[in-house]
Amino acid sequence: MKHVLSVLVNNQPGVLLRVVGMFSRRSFNIDSLSVGVTQPNKYSRITIFFQGESYIVDQIIKQLGKIPDVAAVQLHNPETAVYRGMTLIKIRANDTNRLDVLKIAELFRAHVIDVQKTTLIFEITGQDEKVSALLQLLTPYGILEVIRTGQVALERGEKTIFNCAGKTAFYSKNLL
């Protein structure tokens, strides 16, 4: 089963290594990973997509919670969260077929961000399934390059990673 975790960490060198190192050390696999500075900028936020049974999810959350630089761990639920990732697609398109390609892209709400004599670059955001469908349709025209960012996730509504920190950071209840 596919799972999505957001991990709030101190914005410091070496923290990503600790988080990713925990996965490799305990032989858990990562499907996709994205990292960025968040607000306030003393934190970075890591979004991790991974596969595994419930035992693995449990261990990952607990082991991440033990890393001193990890401030909070949030497990997302597909029903209550939104996921987005961006894909750039470079495709062969010339005067004869450019319009066809653009029409397909429009159906998928992909934006054109570069036009050259023989190529086009599209930008598309959305969930994996949508992107895969577009890629399938574009394949006959000749895809030159595809690059996907890791997906990011946010819970809908009032809930944020900051207010869930109390529950998932296991040492946080106790004051010094």
Partner 1 sequence: MRLNGAGIVIESLKNEGVEFVFGYPGGAVLTLYDEIYKTNFPHILTKHEQGAVHAADGYARATGKVGVCIATSGPGATNLITGIATANIDSIPLICITGQVATPLIGRDSFQEADVCGITAPITKHNYLVRHIKDLPRVLKEAFFIARTGRPGPVVVDIAKDVFAAETEYKYPAEICLRGYTGKYIGDEKKIDRAVDMLRTAERPIIFIGGGVITSETSQLVREMVQKMNIPMTSTLMGLGAADADSAGYLGMAGMHGSYAANMAIMKCDLLLGIGVRFDDRVTGVISEFAPKAKIIHFDIDYAEINKNIAVNLSVVGDLRWSLPLFQEKLCPYNDIIKENIQKWYENVVKIHTARPFKYKNDKNNILAQDAIKKLSDIVTHNTAIVTDVGQHQMWAAQFFKVYGPRNFITSGGLGTMGFGLPAAIGVKLGRPDKNVILLSGDGSIMMNCQELATLADYNINIKIIVIHNHVLGMVTQWQRMFYGERYSQSLLNSKADIVKIAQAMGIKGFRIKVKEELINGLQQLLHEQGPVLLDIIVPAEEDVFPMVPGGKRLDQMVMGEDGL
Q: Given the rule CB under 8 A, which residues bind partner 1?
A: 9-10, 13-14, 17-18, 21-22, 25, 55, 58-59, 62-63, 65-72, 169-176
Angstrom CA distances, 159 to 70, 128, 152, stand at: 19, 24, 16
Instruction: Give whichever of 20 and 81 is closer to partner 1, judged by the CB atom.
Output: 20
Q: What is the DSSP letter of 151?
A: P
Determine the residue type at 174.
Answer: N
Q: Give alpha helix (H) positions in 12-152.
A: 15-25, 54-66, 98-107, 128-138
Instruction: Give whichever of 69 and 128 is closer to partner 1, judged by the CB atom.
Output: 69
Task: Calculate ∠ Cα 95-101-106, nearest 5°.
Answer: 130
Q: How far is the CB of 20 from partner 1 (least distance, A)?
A: 10
Q: How far is the CB of 156 from partner 1 (least distance, A)?
A: 25
Instruction: Give whichever of 147 and 176 is closer to partner 1, judged by the CB atom.
Output: 176
Residue 163 tokens read as 């207010």
Q: How far is the CB of 5 from partner 1 (least distance, A)?
A: 15
Q: How far is the CB of 44 from partner 1 (least distance, A)?
A: 12
